[in-house]
Amino acid sequence: MARRATETLPDARGHFGPFGGRFVPETLMAPLEELERAYRRARADRRFARALVALLRDFAGRPTPLYFATRLTQHLGGPRIYLKREDLLHTGAHKINNCLGQGLLAARMGKSRLIAETGAGQHGVATATVAAHLGLRCTVYMGEEDMARQRLNVVRMQMLGAEVVPVAAGSRTLKDAINEAMRDWVTNVEDTHYLLGSVCGPHPYPMLVRNFQAIIGRETRRQILRAEKRLPDYLVACVGGGSNAIGLFYEFLPEPAVKLIGVEAGGRGAALGEHAARLARRARARRDGARPGVLHGTYTYVLQNRHGQIATTHSVSAGLDYPAVGPEHAYLFESGRAEYTAVSDEEALEAARLLAVQEGIIPALEPAHALAELIKRAPRMNKKDIVVLNLSGRGDKDMDILAEHRALKR
């Protein structure tokens, strides 16, 4: 938790270059400022750091292994591939890192209730888990459409004692659930912390969530130096809101030799509504597509039509299916420090199958996107290159989709 000497962004007002900031109604300004102050105090407090380290280790299962994928490396015949095994964490993905951090912070602020939004239910489950562990009440907002699609996660959250509130507005998915969660927060800010799930939303969330996820990259640096005696050439991660990717990248931002690749959901086509590629498929001015704009309190790249209406999105992977991207990624994209690409549903499904049979690891469909990009690039890479791929979560939640895909293949 020590403050990094190199941390320069965001600036005091939450900006990453032109991106980020705090575009919220007046009623949310005070709670966001309170949260920022509480976070800065917690960060300077060794007891907070010790409590978080202990929870990450004993409850979540950190450090996660950095695993050399021998057979995948041989199979692809290109670079040396390491997998950062966030899939082995409690609740099955990296999201628990952020939830434990914010949960401890909320308890420290004297809040007795956590609220969250969730798409596929993964962030809802991680939040409900942390709430139960810390003895806090928990309400999770979830689109009706998503509740039907992700029945198992709804039951999990309920089992953990959380109340799951169906959201019937709009497209009845994540975007609408976020609006409802913000509304709840405004009304109940006295006793409630809004536990945002990715590096999105108004300042300080993109900074807060990044710093709680940055442990991924800090461990990776230590582990790769031990294994290879040098830094990796490439880091590859999928980008939904962008928290697992920035969590891996952040430690390496000051290392120009380490190339950073973020992979978005290319879905089933290039037309607006068929994908969730905000950076890889930028629109020309006044066309349908991704352009800078404001969504959920932050200024960043947003998928929208030519009139500025937020677009619907599609991805086989619910965790990547969001029309905006974290503002720090918009900044890394424009500055050229990181590169962003997109792969299709089909390519991600194929990549998941390959990892399963080559390594005995069934990945979530989100990191399967990162793997699909690596599979495409491997032939053009050097055999001595070292790649670290962030395996952000496991595939249990996606078994229905994977089974359907297999059946169609026969």
Interface ranges with ligand PLP (CB under 6 A): 93, 95, 122, 198, 238-245, 319-320, 364, 366-367, 392-393
Q: Report, in angstroms and rounded to the nearest whole number, the Rg of the chain calculated over CA atoms.
A: 20
Whole-Å CA distances, 119 to 72, 129, 220, 317: 31, 16, 28, 10
Give 328 or 366: the residue with its C-beta nearer to ligand PLP: 366
* Cβ-contact 104, 54 below 8 angstroms: no
Q: Could you tell me the two tokens for 24?
A: 């919220």
Give 214 or 381: the residue with its C-beta nearer to ligand PLP: 214
**Residue in 91, 122, 113 with CA at minimum distance from that of residue 162:** 113
In whole angstroms, the minimum distance from the beta carbon of 370 to ligand PLP comes to 9
| Amino acid making up residue 79 | P
Angle between helices 151-159 and 122-134 (to 10 degrees): 10
Q: Which helix (H) or strand (E) holds 337?
A: none
Give 76 or 263: the residue with its C-beta nearer to ligand PLP: 263
Q: To the nearest 10°, report the CA torsion of 226, 208, 112, 181.
A: -120
**Residue spans of beta strands (DSSP E) within 149-258:** 163-167, 192-194, 234-238
Longest CA–CA separation in the chain, Å: 57
In whole angstroms, the minimum distance from the beta carbon of 354 to ligand PLP comes to 17
In whole angstroms, the minimum distance from the beta carbon of 350 to ligand PLP comes to 18
Give 78 or 197: the residue with its C-beta nearer to ligand PLP: 197
In whole angstroms, the minimum distance from the beta carbon of 174 to ligand PLP comes to 10
Give 9 or 239: the residue with its C-beta nearer to ligand PLP: 239
Pairing of strands 113-118, 298-304: unpaired
Residues serving a catalytic function are 95, 117, 392
Quick one: 230 exposed, middle or buried, by C-beta within 10 A (0-12, 13-18, 19+)?
exposed
The Cα–Cα gap between 162 and 364 comes to 24
Residue positions counted in the chain: 410
In whole angstroms, the minimum distance from the beta carbon of 44 to ligand PLP comes to 26
**Residue in 197, 26, 178, 194 with CA at minimum distance from that of residue 124:** 197
Give 184 or 328: the residue with its C-beta nearer to ligand PLP: 328
DSSP secondary structure code for residue 282 in this structure: B
In whole angstroms, the minimum distance from the beta carbon of 366 to ligand PLP comes to 3
Nearest residue relative to ligand PLP (C-beta) = 393
